[in-house]
A and B are shown apart, each in its own frame.
Chain A
């Protein structure tokens, strides 16, 4: 057993309203630079739909993630090392997405809105941020936002392939849900395994997957390797960039920007202890539907004295262990089994998990004597508007049983709380049937519905003073080595001015006014 700590996230899809606040704040923080305009480290997709980039889940096209080879051993779907050399893939990567699979970033010709009054209403036309020329918009981020239910969205969603054809295109049976996505910070990250330069790595302390901007040579295999298409290529710096899990915030014990700003409070961050020695073996499970359970098996009980002793021996510090004991992720994923990984069949062991959403039929049913006959939820779950098969294709590699159990549990918890708050009787045996007790149902309700800040985010601080020369790192920026970043020159010039002896006040006044950085 080798114990490692992994920072991970759970998103409660039941509460996601698809407002895109997470995407926007993330973009403002990380990717509002030239070359990075089309990068959405976090994006929210309307499901069923094409997703971003277009049809990213179609791995027969994009060749992301892992597969088992004929010997049953794990192999990158895009080809092993030999294959990359032999087929000259290093000169041309056949499986890399093209800018049109994302969209050509644009801005608007705002200047035309100013000036003398003209006969006609002035219109700001779209201008490409790459070529600077006027362009026709035919694709963009969230191009199909809220458009689920059309023939197009059904037809282009790979998760719909093996779902009864009568749902497809039947208006009464259409359904919609939101899926916020970010980098999964996988235990068996295919992007890391694909990187020829060794620039991509998992941090030993918390498992965050990063791209070393100084080592990246722009070979682009990570883009192909990542089955979630969450590694992007900066067309200006010619390097790969990806979600950083806001590591500078995590190191300070703060949640990521997307989690902090989530208005629905759907995001949870915590630590999971896992057995690194068994990851490879679990990834080689031949049955897709069992991969979720194999991954669950890797997670260790942070209260087990044996695990604690081994964790300390493996260099996990005590604060991290304490956080793992209070981890909301452990509660939801392991104790209650209501959270599931996104597409475990890619065999990357993703670490951003999702609580499946309940859907409208529930409301209809709940209104009708549901408190009197709570066992009615069992048939009702099967008739939910969002088909269980769809959720299973998305979250468990097709295992519908575990999804159903989670939905029973969520529904039963609601019924129990409704009975309690309206002062009605509720037979605790019914809770028992879905694996809840009055105590655990209450605690689950507090975690999911009340979702206090301190319950959602249990993040150990990195002991930076022990691992870094803090003074030397002061003012350092992740992307300072690249010349395409908009903020780097600003901060850089301030640092230079400070070195040249200019007072901080002068440098500040010169570069910062009215709360806006001068660019």
Chain B
């Protein structure tokens, strides 16, 4: 039965979460599109938000980019470029560590603010609080997986030989759960938490990440709207 759990965790569960992410997002925008906002609380508190929000957002964007690179670019490609494995890992640890600690510091300030500032706390929904806590957890897990689980306890572990391959297989719809059996526990928990965040992403304030106003860059300054003639 041990297999059954592994199959659930590394084959079924990711698809459940991604399904929730994709269909939930479509549903949110199609049905409840009007209530997608950044849910800013800057009106209520400004100073802590400044440091927290900027640190967290820049940190998390860099972290996200790092994950995309780490997962999508196969080892064979960097080998072909002639980048030695050690150099790649040191680079990833330094860059990722920097971004991760930025995001962590930012999220700690933001969470402290959300729970301690009366105005902000009283106007927060359960989902706002949950988002803050879950980000704290996943960032701590991610950092400890990289530094403790990876670099210190299992220096021989190379996620690009198993975890990344498995992740790419998810997109190709044939994940091999065996690849995930022998990776350090911290990585496993981090991955599962990550999928949980993707699962609840569309139902929380996080959707604002998908509403980046690209069109602002190209549009004319003054917008006129005309009522359509019937």
Q: Which residues of A contact B (CB under 8 A)?
A: 81, 85, 88, 91-94, 96-99, 104, 130-133, 188-189, 192-193, 195-198, 200-205, 213-214, 216-220, 233, 235-239, 466-469, 481-483
Contact = CB atoms under 8 A, between A and B. Distances in A.
B213 interface: yes
A93 B229 CA distance: 38
B219 interface: yes
Most buried by A among B33, B217, B227, B230: B227
B216 A196 contact: yes
A21 B42 CA distance: 31
A6 B44 CA distance: 35
A195 B225 CA distance: 14
A15 B230 CA distance: 44
A220 B42 contact: yes
B41 A235 contact: yes
B154 interface: no
Contacts of B39: 218, 238
Given A88-B54, A99-B119, A196-B216, A130 B211 contact: no
B222 interface: yes
B57 A220 contact: no
Contacts of B223: 192, 195, 198, 200-202
Contact of A203 (B33, B36, B225): B225
A238 B120 CA distance: 13
A467 B122 CA distance: 43
Most buried by A among B43, B49, B223, B227: B43
B55 to A, nearest CB: 9
B37 interface: yes
Contacts of A216: 37
Interface of B: 33-46, 49-50, 53-54, 57-58, 118-119, 122-123, 208, 211, 213, 215-217, 219, 221-230
A201 B54 CA distance: 29
Given A192-B221, A204-B226, 19 more contacts: A88-B57, A98-B42, A98-B46, A99-B44, A99-B119, A197-B211, A198-B223, A200-B223, A201-B225, A202-B224, A204-B224, A205-B226, A216-B37, A217-B38, A233-B40, A235-B44, A238-B38, A238-B39, A483-B35
27 contacts: A85-B217, A91-B57, A94-B50, A97-B43, A98-B44, A99-B43, A130-B119, A130-B123, A188-B222, A192-B221, A197-B216, A198-B223, A201-B224, A202-B225, A203-B227, A204-B224, A204-B227, A217-B38, A218-B37, A218-B40, A233-B40, A235-B41, A235-B43, A235-B44, A237-B35, A467-B229, A482-B34
Interface residues of chain A: helix, strand, loop or mixed (majority)? loop
Contact of B34 (A91, A202, A214): A214
A130 B122 contact: yes
Nearest to B106: A91
A96 B225 contact: no
Nearest to A102: B43
Contacts of A202: 222-225
B76 to A, nearest CB: 35
Contacts of A189: 222
B34 A467 contact: no
A238 B40 contact: yes
A204 B229 CA distance: 13
Contacts of B36: 217
Contact of B213 (A99, A196, A237): A196
B37 A469 contact: no
B222 A466 contact: no
B40 A214 contact: no
A217 B54 CA distance: 18
Contact of A467 (B45, B119, B208, B230): B230
Given A218-B37, A218-B38, A467-B230, A204 B225 contact: yes
A85 B38 CA distance: 16
Nearest to B49: A92
Most buried by A among B39, B122, B213, B229: B213
B123 A236 contact: yes
A396 B19 CA distance: 60
